[in-house]
Structure 1
Amino acid sequence: MTAAIRGPWKIVPSSGGQTAPFYMIRFDKRGVCTSPASLAHLVTASAEATDVFLFSHGWNNDWAAATRRYEQFLEQFTQVREQEWDPPAREFRPVLVGVHWPSTVLVGGDDRGPDIAGEEPEAAEEAEVDLGLLGEHLDADQAARFYELADEAQLTGADALELASLLAPALAGADDELGSGPEHTPDAKELVRLWAAMPSEDPQAPTSRGGFVDETPETNGTDPQAAGWLDTLNPRNAIRSATVLLMKDRAGRVGGAGVRTMLHGILKASPDSRVHLIGHSYGAKVVLSALAAGSAPTRPVESVLLLQPATSAKCFADPDGTEPAGGYRPALDRCAQPIMTTFSRHDAPLTKLFHFAARRASDRREVVIAGAPSEFAALGGVGPQDTSSVTVVDARTAPQRYQHTTEQIIAIRADAVISGHGDVQNPATAWALLCQVME
């Protein structure tokens, strides 16, 4: 546990030999701020800033990695800014904010916390999934049985169904991304079918810390179209899928509660500053939930940059008479600039696994129909779907700027500059942010 901080976490270099305060604001799993003194200091400091940058990491990240990755992204941004915007064409007095939310699903020999990207640290080989994240939703007898089933190398059909029945109530969440309201408890048989269809992994290889899930999953030979009751099931697939959903819900809860309150406070206290939101993986869900949930803030944020977002590709969807608008569509009207979001075919977790795990309602369509993206596909894997408010462009590097558009979303096809889910702190992503700052 780090010592209590009542102001900036540290001071970092800024433009023209100046410095900028960098705050780390913590939230618990309910979205309650656990560093209120630092938050109060931040809100006051924001009133004097020209630009406030609010970052959120994704899941499975620890404190040491978080601070390191936030700093690495900022270093990339500073280098690009000094090359392409020095001196700045306007006043530039930034305040930096990193969100810290409890996203860790791996445990090792020490306590760990947030990360903006996805580097596997030295101790990753000692880490394992924290089954307590699932067990805490069960009573004592149920938890004991869950731990027994989770400890098996393989489960029979009957045991797999029992595991699904134990976990199903914990996986009933509100699908805020799709705007469809509260979900019903998933059907246990459907969960088993999904678990059987999920690509498998080497059981001896640990899940990479710092990313969404494993970066290079291998298929287990199961045809997802025909997957059903199998003779045996690896419980690791079930646990991976369940933790994906629990952390998805937690990201939305933290964003829609505590981070939303913080964002509204900053916008109200600093009427002239430009507020920029940046989120990676489930961190994109954190910042979108903060912006889109509930009533609108007193004024729009300036920009939103989503880096390989682990949210539904339909989160910005148009209403079509039969389906509601995407749950994050309100964010489009609460951002002064078009929202920028990256997607890459090299992001294995979001292109190969997300649509298996992030399915709460009954299976409404097959995983793939005639080559089309899954109904449950990830925004960071295939880009925005079912929306007329988008312009799709190839990723650009300095000095080629992104062109102004009347559409509310700029979807950046980032195959050439993002090689994997965690490859989000590089000159190209820093340039995308700088283009928003210079706009």
Structure 2
Amino acid sequence: MADMGVAPYWETTFDAQGDPDPGERDALLGGAAAAGLTDLVVFAHGWNNSRSTATGLYRSFFAPFPGLLAGAPGPVCLGYGGVIWPSMRFTDEPVPDFPPSRPALTAAGPELGPDTLRALAGVFPGSEALLDRLAELIERRPPDDARLEEFAGLVRTLVAHGRTEGTSTAPTAADIQDMDDVDAADPAMLVRPAPEVCGRFADALTAAGAVPAELFGDVWQRLWSGALELLRQASYWEMKRRAGTVGRAGLGPLLAALAASAPGLRVHLVGHSFGGRLVSFAARTLTERGGCVHSLTMLQGAFSHYAFTPRLPFATGRAGALEGTPDRVQGPVVCCHSRYDQALGMLYPLASRVADDPDSLAWLDDSRWGAMGHDGIQAVDGCAQLTLDSALGGALPGAGCVNVDCSSVVRRGGPPSGAHSDICHPELARLVLLTGRILR
């Protein structure tokens, strides 16, 4: 693609079941072999609404690479790959360096805007009538528990539809385990009483600064603000499950084919948000450390911080869903995290939590429900703990898990997601190249 600023560059589109576009797959396999690449960086986006948005993210992230490569210690022929998979974000979420978005929570109350409705219809095809009813309830905001329950029931139906639309099977044990709910196929937010769940989400939104002051004293406006957040989090729960499917059934087999068509090529996986889960599941499919993946970097990974552990602290007979994945990667597995990521520090654990603790504001007192992008990989022996400065200064180990606190640069963004998408920085581009030993 001529306007990417880097070359050679390939995009590969996967559907919800992980099937790649045949022409794009063949272009990558043939092109990588013909170009004589030494290294290939493959980036998977997280929540996103369109191919153009994903491509814009890749263009921005890759922009510093040509200048950085001038400092490479040896000959490098680097290629670039972008993964396009069916995910979505709510259009009110601010993304630094991209056009400003319109907030969904204003003094007039919550709003399910037309752009977000179109995005939802795109990832949940055939659900237009259901989505229209959800939008109607948000617009009317009736002061009625029964209508809140109706809203929650419709959200549950939407997720169930997405599950059957995106895959022919129910979630696997690995899907369920890494949903942070090891005992149920549906997260607590979809089965608990709607007024309670919406109230908890409203509390979290207030704490995050997302609820306008004018709504503080209106109980029902705040509850419907929580209902809108329930829809957001439920749709992201489905996207999270889908990311695992695309990684396991789509990108993983493509990496195996790439290793066969271009022997000796060093692949470096990068994933943002749910894309971190996608590339991790792709690496998990590889049979041994001797494969083509030489590094894995997760930018604000939106999945359990216990995913790689051999023993879950709260269930010692179980391992994390991605246990053993670092053994499939020849180099380091780097987790970039930031305390300014509100999406993962506040809303993710709230949406994931199962235990009932009414005395805890927003259910935030239990570390069981944390996300990698907020506090790093947990419960993995020998996991290195680095600041971004130390990582850039040469402290990265040659293999194993590494937490890198990137709060010094990943810090911009307003509520409700905070700095979750603040990832386009030269420092992070350099970190990817250092992780892959392309720079030293």
Shared fold (TM-score, shorter chain, > 0.5): yes
The answer to whether the Cα contact below 8 Å between 2:255 and 2:292 also exists between their aligned partners in 1 is: no
Residue 156 of structure 1 deviates from its aligned partner by 2.4
State the partner residue of 1:94. 78
The answer to whether the Cα contact below 8 Å between 1:397 and 1:427 also exists between their aligned partners in 2 is: no
Residue 237 of structure 1 deviates from its aligned partner by 2.0
Counting only pairs closer than 5 Å after superposition, residues 225-374 of structure 1 correspond to structure 2 as: 232-234=223-225, 235-293=227-285, 299-319=291-311, 322-359=316-353, 362-363=354-355, 374=367
Q: Return the match for 2:54 from 66, 72, 83.
A: 66
SS in 1 for 2:393: coil
Report the residue type matching 2:235 in the other structure. T
Tell which deviates more after alignment, 193-202 or 424-433: 193-202
Task: Evaluate the alpha carbon distance shift between residue 72 and residue 28 of structure 1 in structure 2; reply closer, same or farther with a 3 A threshold.
Answer: same
Following the alignment from structure 1 to structure 2, what is the Cα–Cα distance between the partners of residues 143 and 398? 46
Identity among equivalent positions (%) equals 24
Q: Return the match for 1:197 from 189, 195, 200.
A: 200
State the partner residue of 2:24. 38
Report the residue type matching 1:245 in the other structure. W
The answer to whether the Cα contact below 8 Å between 1:318 and 1:325 also exists between their aligned partners in 2 is: yes
Following the alignment from structure 2 to structure 1, what is the Cα–Cα distance between the partners of residues 289 and 182? 22
The answer to whether the Cα contact below 8 Å between 1:135 and 1:146 also exists between their aligned partners in 2 is: no
Task: Give the count of matched residue pairs.
Answer: 394
Tell which deviates more after alignment, 273-282 or 287-296: 287-296
SS in 2 for 1:400: helix
Following the alignment from structure 1 to structure 2, what is the Cα–Cα distance between the partners of residues 374 and 191? 24
Q: What does the per-residue CA deviation read over 1:317-344, in whole Å, with 9 as the maximum and x for residues that have no partner?
A: 2325634211122321111112011111
Residue 374 of structure 1 deviates from its aligned partner by 3.2
Report the residue type matching 1:39 in the other structure. R
Over the residues paired in the alignment, what is the CA RMSD in angstroms?
A: 3.9
Report the residue type matching 1:357 in the other structure. A
Following the alignment from structure 1 to structure 2, what is the Cα–Cα distance between the partners of residues 26 and 151? 35
State the partner residue of 1:175. 176
SS in 2 for 1:401: helix
Tell which deviates more after alignment, 194-203 or 322-331: 194-203
Tell which deviates more after alignment, 334-343 or 65-74: 65-74
> Where does the alignment leave 5 or more consecutive residues of structure 2 unmatched?
104-112, 161-170, 412-418
Residue 256 of structure 1 deviates from its aligned partner by 2.0
> Where does the alignment leave 5 or more consecutive residues of structure 1 unmatched?
1-8, 15-19, 109-116, 204-214, 223-228
Task: Evaluate the alpha carbon distance shift between residue 50 and residue 11 of structure 1 in structure 2; reply closer, same or farther with a 3 A threshold.
Answer: farther
Q: What does the per-residue CA deviation read over 1:280-317, in whole Å, with 9 as the maximum and x for residues that have no partner?
A: 11111121121224856971510001111111111112
Report the residue type matching 2:26 in the other structure. A
Task: Evaluate the alpha carbon distance shift between residue 350 and residue 216 of structure 1 in structure 2; reply closer, same or farther with a 3 A threshold.
Answer: farther
Task: Give TM-score scaled by structure 2 length.
Answer: 0.76
Residue 251 of structure 1 deviates from its aligned partner by 1.9
Following the alignment from structure 1 to structure 2, what is the Cα–Cα distance between the partners of residues 60 and 153? 27
State the partner residue of 1:129. 116
State the partner residue of 2:374. 381
The answer to whether the Cα contact below 8 Å between 1:106 and 1:127 also exists between their aligned partners in 2 is: no
State the partner residue of 1:3. none
Report the residue type matching 1:335 in the other structure. V
Residue 403 of structure 1 deviates from its aligned partner by 3.4
The answer to whether the Cα contact below 8 Å between 2:306 and 2:378 also exists between their aligned partners in 1 is: yes
Following the alignment from structure 1 to structure 2, what is the Cα–Cα distance between the partners of residues 394 and 354? 23
The answer to whether the Cα contact below 8 Å between 1:289 and 1:328 also exists between their aligned partners in 2 is: yes
The answer to whether the Cα contact below 8 Å between 1:179 and 1:327 also exists between their aligned partners in 2 is: no
The answer to whether the Cα contact below 8 Å between 2:267 and 2:294 also exists between their aligned partners in 1 is: yes
Following the alignment from structure 1 to structure 2, what is the Cα–Cα distance between the partners of residues 95 and 135? 33
Following the alignment from structure 2 to structure 1, what is the Cα–Cα distance between the partners of residues 89 and 50? 10
SS in 1 for 2:74: coil
State the partner residue of 1:162. 150
